[in-house]
Amino acid sequence: MKKQWLGLAVLAVIVLGGCGQKQATKPSSNSAKSSKVSSKKAKAKTKASSSSSQASSSTAAPAQSHLATLHSALRKQIPGAKFPQQDPAASGQALNVAAAGTSANYKLYFSFGAAAAFQASSLPRSNAPYVLTKTTPESTAAAEAADAAINYQALQAGLPTVALGDGLTGTKEGAAGSTYVTWHEGRWSLVASGVNQNQEDPAALAKQAVSFLAQASLPIPATHGAVVLHVAKSNDRVNTVAWRENSAYYQLSGIDPLMTLRLATLLR
């Protein structure tokens, strides 16, 4: 106990003064409530941000894991086979692949849907929406034929021109009921085609392709490569990306023009 060397009157003054001081420094009930609400909101926001980040990571992780599993299985069967380094599938889907052939000559059959094992019997082959074909000619004549099949398009002088963005200009011409826009990027010739009767605008597709390629790169061909894109989507693989690397020739064909282009930029 404290030594009570002060009188009761003095003690009373100290006690009363202390009580007054406590009342002066005590926060109002409204201020306390506001502080608690702000604290709860901050915690909730942090928790929501953390949950969102975890959800995004959990969505990306299975996709990359599936892709890595497919890649590993593919290269055990066909060493050195090209494969997309990222999954281009839309949200909720996965890239799947079946394959046939050898390292010198093979076909990869790409499709999208629920994640499936490499070479699963349910996967499409001949009717797959996207197919990558590698061919290694065994003769000079076969190589010349494969080189011609790339179908590189030179730019023709005297045709109307169209600005495509990214500093590029294409030529525009009509033939056999279709309109074609042709342009060059590096060693590549690119053609966008539209059917006049269906009022398809190849210039719009060409601009989309240019915009995409401003952020992505096609493979580097040994001499040249060629891209052919069609405005109308089809069940047939009418869109193609063809090129040569060393003595091997590659062609990626697909049903959707921009997805065909995207897949080609992801192949390694």
Domains of the chain: which residue ranges?
28-118, 129-268
pLDDT for residue 63: 77
pLDDT for residue 231: 98
User: Is the model more confident about 22 or about 203?
Assistant: 203
Confidence of residue 158 (pLDDT cuts 50, 70, 90): very high
Task: Evaluate if pTM is beyond 0.95.
Answer: no
Judge residue 135's burial from the number of C-beta atoms within 10 Å of its C-beta, 0-12 exposed, 13-18 middle, 19 or more buried: buried
